[in-house]
Structure 1
Amino acid sequence: MLLYKLWRSFIKEILLLKRDIGGIVIIFVMPLLLIVTITLIQDSTFKNLEGSKIPIIFIDNDKSEVSKNIKSELESSKTFQLLTNFNEKSAQDAVFSGDYQMAIIIPENLTKDLNSNIDSKVQTIVSSFGLESDSAAVKKTVPKTKEIHLYFDPATNAGFKNSVMNSVNKMVFEIENKKIYKAFQDQLGTEENLEENKNLISFKEITPKKGEMDVMPNSVQHNVPAWTLFAIFFIVVPLSINLVKEKSQGTNVRARISPTPYFIHILGKTFTYLIICIIQFSLMVAVGIYLFPYMDLPAFDVSGKMFQLLTVTLFAGLAAIGFGVLLGTVADTQEQSAPFGATSVVVLAAIGGIWVPVFLMPEFMQTVAKFSPMNWGLNAYYDIILRNSGIGGIAKELIFLFLFYLATVSVSIFYERKQNAV
C-alpha cells in the first residue's frame, strides 16, 4: 500500500514538472550552456596559453649581451609577442591605458655595469684569500644597482603579474650566476668549459599514470564535475517553487488530511528529483565525451569510474533535494523561494570551490568551505576523476552528504508539523 502511495506521489511530481517549462529549461539547458562556455574560456589557462601569444612591449636600451639573452628567453617561451617600436614614455602610456598587458624596459649600460660590478666583487673575494695577482690594492667600488622597469596594465591579473616578474627575476639570476662563474674562472685561470657547468639540482614533476601514459589534468576534468554539481543543486529552485505552489493551491491541505504520511510525499519528491539529477549528470558527461572533442577540447574520460561518479551524483542529489525541501517548506511565497534559492546556490558554489579554488581563499573562508555540501561533492568528484579514488576513499564525503539530507528533511517535517498543529 505504501509503495502505491509512493508511486502516486512520484506521478504527481512528474505532472507538476511537465507544467513548468521554465523550470525544465533551468534544470537541463542552463547547465549545458554553462559547462560549454566556461570550459572553452578556461581551456587556454590549462594549456598555459599554448598556441596564442600575448603582445608585450620590449625596449632594449642596453643592446648588449644581457638584454639580448633576456629577449631571446622571452621569445623562446612561445608565450609573448615582443613589440619593439616604442620608447619608454609611449610604452608607459600604451600599457596604463590598457592597450597592452605589460612593457619591459632594459636600462642603458646594463651589461657593462653588471660586468663591472661582478669583476669588483670577484676581485674582492679572491684578494681576501691572498690570491690576487700583483700587490696592487684592490679598489673597492660600490655596486651600481640597475633596474629593469616593468609596466603592467592596472587591470592585469595579479597571478599573471607575479608569474612574469618571477620569470624575469629567474632569467636575470641565471645570467648573473653564469657571469660570476666565468669571472672566477678568469681570476683563477681555470680552463673548465662554462657550458659543462650544469645545475646540480633540478625539478621534475611526477604525474599520475594510466598504464604507461602520464595523466595530465585539463579544463574538462575540472569543469564537468564542478558544473554538474552546480546543476544538481540548482534543482533547489523548481523544487522549492513547487512546494510553495502546493501550499498556495491547497494541495498540502489535501495531503495532510489523506491517510498518506507526509514523509511519503517527501520520498516521492526525492525519487523524482534524483532521476532528474541522473539525467543532468548523463547529459553533462555526454557533452564532455562526445561534444568537446569536436570543439578542440579534451574528451572527458570516465573509463572505469562511472559507478563511483553515479554514486556521488546520487548522494549530492540527496543533499540538494533536502535543501530544496527545507527552503520550500519554510518559504511562504514564490517571491521568497525563487530568488533566495538561486542566490543561496550561487553562494554555496562560491564557498564550495566551484569558481575559486578553496586553497586560494582566506583562512576563515577555507574553514567555512568545509561545511559546504557543494565542497563535499566536489572533493568526492575530484577524488575519483583526478586522484583515482574508489568508494572507500570518498566515504566521508558521501556520509556528510547523506547526513545533510537527513538533517534538512527532518527539520522540514518538524517545521511542517509545528505549523499545522491544531
Structure 2
Amino acid sequence: MSVYKEFLLLKRDMGGVVTLFLMPLVLIITVTLIQDNTFKTVTDSKIPILLVDYDKGNVSKTVFDNLQKSNVFSVVTTIDDVPITEAVAKEAVFKGKFQMAIVIPSHLSRDLQLKIDQNVERIVSSLGFSDSLAVKKQIKIVNQKEVKLYFDPAVQLSFKSGVMNSIDKMISQIETKSIYTTFQDQLGEGDTSFEQNSFITFKEIVPRINNKEIIPNSVQHNVPAWTLFAIFFIVIPLSINIVKEKTQGTFIRLRTNPVSSQIVLAGKTLMYLIICMIQFYMMIGVAVFLFPYLGLPALNVQGNLILMSVVALFSGFAAIGFGILLGTVAKTQEQSAPFGATSVIILAAIGGVWVPVFAMPKIMQVIAQSSPMNWGLEAFYDVLLRNASILDLLPELGLLFLFFIVTTTIALLYDKKKRAV
C-alpha cells in the first residue's frame, strides 16, 4: 500500500511524470549529437584556417600541401579574391570569423637552407672532408625565424596545443629533409639515398572481444554519463514529495498508523527505483534503436545489458538514498528543489560526467572519488569498454549501496531525533 500511495501521488502530477521521462531522452539525444559531431570533426568536417605566405618558398609550399592533404584543415589564402595580409588575418581571427591563422615569415626557406649549409659545412670541415685550398666563405649571420600563429580567443587550449604540435612536427620534417640533402651535396655522393622515413612509429593496441577491436565512440561515453545524470535527478521530485507530506500533514497521519518509518521509506524506494529503471531502459532503447536514424552509432549492449541493468539498479539506490536524506532534512520545497538540482549538478561535475576525471587538477581527482556518480560511471565504463565481470564491478556496486544505506540511516535517525524533540 505504501508503494501504491507513491504511485497515486505521481499519477496526480502527470506533467511532472512526463517531464521526468521525456527530458532525459531529449538531453541524451542532444548532447550525444553534439559530442558525436565533435568526435567527427577530426575526420569528417574540415576547419578553415588562414595562411599568410610571405615566404613563397619550399617550406611554405610544403606546409600548404600538408595542411591541404590533412583531414582536419582547409586552407584559405584569399578573402574576396584578395591575398590575405597579416593584418587582415589577425583581425578576422580575433573577431571570431576564423579559428586560427598561420603567418609564414619572408625568406624562411632561403634562410633555413643557408643556416643548414653553414652547419653542415662546419661539421664536414671538422671531419677533414673539406677542400683545404678552397676560399673560405664569409659566414652570414642568420636570424631565427618565427612562424606566427593567431588563435580565436574562444578556442580551447587543447586545440591550440594540437595545432602547434602539428606545425612544429611539419617544420621539423622539412628541416630534417633539408639536412640530409645538404649532406649529400657536400659529400659529393649524388647517388646516395638517405632513409628519411621515421624509424620509430606508433601503434595503438586496443582491447578485443571475439577477435573484434573495441573502438570507443561518443555513444559509449555519453549514454552512461547522461543516464546517471537522469537517474540522480530523481532526487528532486522525491525530496519534494517528502517535504509535501510533512507540510500537508500526510506524514503525521501515516505515523498514526501501525506502520514503521522503514516501511514508508521502503515504499518510496521501490516506487522510485521502478522509475529509475524505466528511465534507464528508455534511454538504452533510444541509444540502440533511434540513434542509427539520427546518424549516430548504435549502442552495442549485446552481452552487457544484464550487467548494465545491475549498475543502473545500484545507481538508483544511491540516488534515492540521497533524495530521502534531502527530503527529510529540508523544511520547505524552496529548500529541497534548488539544493537538489544544484547538488546533482555538482556531483555530475566532480564525478566525470562533463569533464573526464584524468583531465582535472590533482585535488579534484581526489575529490571525484567521493562522488557516487563517479562510481556509477566507472562501473558503466567497466561493462561497456573494459569487458568487466560482475566480480570486477563489486567495489563500485558496494560503494553505491553503502551510500544508500548511510544516507537512509542518517535520514531515519534525523527524523527520529526531530520527532523526539
Superposed counterparts of 1:153-302, under 5 Å: 153-190=152-189, 191-194=191-194, 196-302=195-301
1:340: which partner in 2? Answer: 339
| Residue equivalent to 1:5 | none
What are the equivalent positions in structure 2 for 1:90-169 lying under 5 Å apart? 90-136=88-134, 137=136, 139-169=138-168
Q: Which secondary structure state, in structure 2, belongs to the residue aligned with residue 321 of structure 1?
A: helix
| Candidates 59, 66, 89, aligned match of 1:73 | 66
Conserved? CA contact 1:329–1:416, under 8 Å = yes
SS at match of 1:58: strand
Cα contact 2:177–2:196 (8 A) shared by 1: no
Q: Deviation per CA, 1:287-328, whole angstroms, max 9, x where unpaired?
A: 100111001110000000011100100110000000000000
Q: Is the 8 A contact 1:316 1:377 kept in 2?
A: yes
Which residue is 2:324 aligned to?
A: 325
Q: Is the 8 A contact 1:290 1:299 kept in 2?
A: yes
Q: Percent identity?
A: 55
- Scaled by the length of structure 2, what TM-score is found? 0.95
1:44 aligns with 2:37: yes
1:10-52 Cα shifts (integer Å, max 9, x gaps):
1011111111234313421111111011111111222243321
Give the match's secondary structure for 2:204.
coil
- Range with greater deviation from structure 2 (32-41 or 196-205): 196-205
Cα deviation per residue 1:345-364 (whole Å; 9 max; x = unaligned)? 01111110101111111111
1:27 maps onto 2:26 in alignment: no
Query: Does the CA-based 8 Å contact 1:54-1:80 persist in structure 2?
Result: yes
Deviation, structure 1 residue 257: 2.2
Measure the CA separation in 1 of the matches of 2:87 and 2:24: 47
Cα deviation 1:238-296 (Å, max 9, x = unaligned): 00000001101111112222211110111111111111111011011011001110011
Unaligned runs of 5+ in 1: 1-7
**TM-score scaled by length of structure 1:** 0.95
Alpha-carbon distance in 1 for matches of 2:115, 2:339? 65
Match for 1:128: what amino acid?
S
Match of 1:404 in 2: 403
Alpha-carbon distance in structure 1 between the residues aligned to 2:133 and 2:345: 76
What's the offset of the Cα at 1:140? 4.5
Output aligned runs, 1:308-319, within 5 Å.
308-319=307-318
Equivalent residue pairs, number: 414
Say if 1:103 and 1:256 are closer, same or farther in 2 by CA, change over 3 A. Answer: same
List gaps (5 residues or longer) in structure 2: 79-83
Residues 58, 109 of structure 2: 8 Å contact kept: yes
Q: Distance in 1 between matches of 2:137 and 2:124?
A: 10
One-letter amino acid of the counterpart of residue 185, structure 1: Q
Give distance in 1, aligned partners of 2:133 and 2:268. Answer: 95
Instruction: Name the stretch that deviates more: 287-296 or 74-83.
Output: 74-83
- Answer yes or no: is 1:366 the counterpart of 2:365: yes
* Paired residue type of 1:91: A
Which among 50, 54, 57 is matched to residue 57 of structure 1? Answer: 50
